Amino acid sequence: MKPLSNRTEHLSDSCIRRMTRIAMECGAINLSQGFPDFDPPKAIMDRLAEVASAGPHQYTPTWGAQNYRAALAGKLSRFMGLPIDPDENVLATVGSTEAMMAALMAVTDPGDRVAVFSPFFENYEAQSLLLGCEPVYVPLVPPENSFDPNELEDVFRQGCKAMIVCNPSNPNGKVFSREELQCIAGLAIRYDVYIIMDEVYEHIIYAPYVHTYMASLPGMWERTISCSSLSKTYSVTGWRLGYIVACKRILDNCKKTHDFLTVCAPSPLQEAVIAGLEMPDSYYKELQAHYTHMKELFCGGLRQIGFDFIEPQGSYFVLVDIAKYAGGDDVAFCERLAREIGVAAVPGSTFYKEDVRHLARFHYAKKDETLLAALDRLSDIHKLL
């Protein structure tokens, strides 16, 4: 029998999804896979109920329904400060996962090098390897989670076709400053590198930090592919609604790959979520306040228990130091944490190319009662010593 493809040789089961399965098996509170346990905004839910009866239920144009792309373009123009054209600059995808894959396929070829900050969301490495690209890592150094511009320039100088930047960052909650993004942009222009932005947490930012869109910086519209989704902003992770925003030249190439990957995003859900895209700026201020409350509740509880961590600046993740409990094996620790304490987290080594085994990632996009229950269980962490 002929061998199977070697394309997946260096891939393994997603550790995040594996921890979710363990949580389900043992009844642990799932703070591993990042999805809320509260409903989307009422306006979206009401519209979904209408669409369930009235439709649409058939294919939309593969790039996305016209009214959905128009609503996206309107919202994006407002926040990005750029004139986003729904026909030339917006592509509807099946989640940001497909958006990132389509973006990588549009600008890279097998053998190209792709720069990635470490720590990184596990999909970036997997997607690069699936496409035959070579991921190259640039460390973010705590406690500021800053990068060395000289080290980044060395990576670009040695030949790099694209770079992936997650802002705000999963898993460490870093929000890149405007100055840091300008540094990346200057190097990208100098060495002719495409920048693929993952901006799914763009509206989950904690004061005094602010989100800057890479595409809005001088000279970067022509070489930036902005990928995002509606999952986190509107608490609809299961709807799988993502998008790409880029200049026409790049977007036309993204469209070619998207058409043969998924055809189109779910038609009724595109229609229903327009109610969210049309909400006023006050919604995003309330969202920020809501997540600020969850962060303070959960991080404050972790601090009282005695955990050390770097306060997240954005997203809804926190990397917690578990060195005194893990004994150098964060994977075994997280499995014990789920089975014996009843809280599921993700081993920090999942996100690092460096040998990092003293961290665990928790997420706090949960109701107060869920977070309080998790903190109550975590107060028994001494049992793992």
CATH of the domain at 290: 3.90.1150.10
CATH number at residue 66: 3.40.640.10
DSSP 25-70: HHT-EE-SS---SSPPPHHHHHHHHHHHHH---SPPPTT--HHHHH
Q: Determine, yes or no, domain membership for 245.
A: yes
Res 186: pLDDT: 98
Full domain range(s) for residue 33 = 6-40+282-384
Max CA distance (Å), the chain: 61
Res 343: pLDDT: 98
Q: Determine, yes or no, domain membership for 50.
A: no
- Considering the domain architecture, whether residues 286 and 333 belong to the same structural domain is answered as yes
- Considering the domain architecture, whether residues 201 and 226 belong to the same structural domain is answered as yes
The predicted-structure confidence for 222-260, as pLDDT tens digits, reads as follows: 999 999 999 999 999 999 999 999 999 999 999 999 999
Q: What are phi and psi of 105, to 5 degrees?
A: -65, -30
Cα dihedral 119, 122, 123, 126, rounded to 10, equals 110
Residue where a domain stops, chosen among 230, 261, 278: 278
- Considering the domain architecture, whether residues 335 and 214 belong to the same structural domain is answered as no
Res 217: pLDDT: 98
Number of domains in the chain: 2
The predicted-structure confidence for 357-377, as pLDDT tens digits, reads as follows: 999 999 999 999 999 999 999
The predicted-structure confidence for 249-294, as pLDDT tens digits, reads as follows: 999 999 999 999 999 999 999 999 999 999 999 999 999 999 999 9
- Considering the domain architecture, whether residues 251 and 297 belong to the same structural domain is answered as no
Q: Determine, yes or no, domain membership for 105.
A: yes
The predicted-structure confidence for 36-73, as pLDDT tens digits, reads as follows: 999 999 999 999 999 999 999 999 999 999 999 999 99
In angstroms, the CA 180 to CA 45 distance is 39
- Considering the domain architecture, whether residues 78 and 215 belong to the same structural domain is answered as yes
Res 253: pLDDT: 97
Q: Determine, yes or no, domain membership for 46.
A: no
- Considering the domain architecture, whether residues 366 and 221 belong to the same structural domain is answered as no
Query: Mean pLDDT over all residues of the chain?
Result: 96
In sequence order, which residues have a C-beta less than 8 Å from that of residue 379 and are 6 or more positions away?
305
Res 127: pLDDT: 95
Q: Determine, yes or no, domain membership for 197.
A: yes
For residue 13, pLDDT over 90 is answered with: no
Q: Determine, yes or no, domain membership for 1.
A: no
- Considering the domain architecture, whether residues 214 and 253 belong to the same structural domain is answered as yes
Q: Of 260, 272, 268, 258, give the one whose Cα is nearest residue 94.
A: 258
In angstroms, the CA 17 to CA 8 distance is 17
The predicted-structure confidence for 117-155, as pLDDT tens digits, reads as follows: 999 999 999 999 999 999 999 999 999 999 999 999 999
For residue 12, pLDDT over 90 is answered with: no
Residue where a domain stops, chosen among 278, 309, 340: 278
Neighbours of 126 (CB within 10 A): 17
- Considering the domain architecture, whether residues 253 and 106 belong to the same structural domain is answered as yes
Residue where a domain stops, chosen among 250, 278, 306: 278
- Considering the domain architecture, whether residues 213 and 362 belong to the same structural domain is answered as no
- Considering the domain architecture, whether residues 241 and 300 belong to the same structural domain is answered as no
Per-residue pLDDT band for 94 (boundaries 50, 70, 90) equals very high
Q: Determine, yes or no, domain membership for 116.
A: yes
- Considering the domain architecture, whether residues 273 and 300 belong to the same structural domain is answered as no
Counting Cα atoms < 13 Å in the Cβ hemisphere of 216 gives 13
| DSSP 3-state of 93 | strand
- Considering the domain architecture, whether residues 95 and 186 belong to the same structural domain is answered as yes
